[in-house]
Amino acid sequence: TAAAGTKHLRAAFDWMEQHLGPYRFGAEVGSVSAHWGGGAYGGMEHHPLWHVASDALGDESVHVHEAAHGWFGDGIRLACWEDFVLSEGAATYYEARVIEEVGEAGAGTAAWAALDQELANLRASGGGAIAWPQSCGVVDVLTIFTRVPYVKGALFLRAVERKIGRAMFDATMRKFYDAHDGEAAGVADLVDAIRATSGYDATACAQTWLATRAVPTELSCP
């Protein structure tokens, strides 16, 4: 089961080092099976040995998601809990993006389609919640620990990628990672980095995708 779930993990890790920058937590990394009890799923980003629920050990997306936290959430820490979307949204974006890049044929398409479906479900329910509260140190992270920051955050980044082009998006994310070498940052810092690198002001896009309950009807930025 572990072999199936980590079939492309080495290639995924190499891709992130090449496109985002060097990993900061040592030379040996990997997934550790965590026996959290029946019904537990997903993982926890304890780098360099991140944990994956034993029931999820065969799920490639979980391994890649937790590995991506080596860059976002751990590599770049959060300035405030309100910036939770910068960790989970980015890891979810790279979960789908990296599987698209190094996984089996069609796996990336399926990963993006699954996120699109989750977004549609949020839209049908009225948006679910705000992914990026406009405060710092006020919100208890458990109040925003839902799928909303994961899904809205990932598709916000996908919308920015479409707006500025994939090559420019990759250059922007790498510069953002380099600029916050082992430091904390927030969503506002990412918006600043997008503007500085690409010339595109993503403020309105971030507000639309992350700071309101409503869900955009198009995967785009103004």
pLDDT in tens, 120-167: 999 998 877 899 999 999 999 999 999 999 999 999 999 999 999 999
Coil vs helix vs strand at 200: coil
User: Does the model's pTM come out above 0.95?
Assistant: yes
Kindly tell me the burial class for residue 218, based on how many C-beta atoms sit within 10 Å of its own C-beta (0-12, 13-18, 19 or more): exposed
Low-confidence ranges of the chain (pLDDT < 50): none
Beta strands in 35-180 (DSSP E): 43-44, 49-53, 77-78
**What confidence tens digit (pLDDT) does each residue in 107-118 have?**
999 999 999 999
Q: Contact 67/13 with Cβ under 8 angstroms?
A: yes
Q: Are 67 and 11 in contact (CB under 8 A)?
A: no
Element spanning 88, H or E: helix 84-102
Which among 63, 68, 118, 71 has a CA at the least distance from the CA of 92?
68
Q: How far apart are alpha carbons 116 and 130 in whole angstroms?
A: 18
The residue with tokens 């496109």 is 19
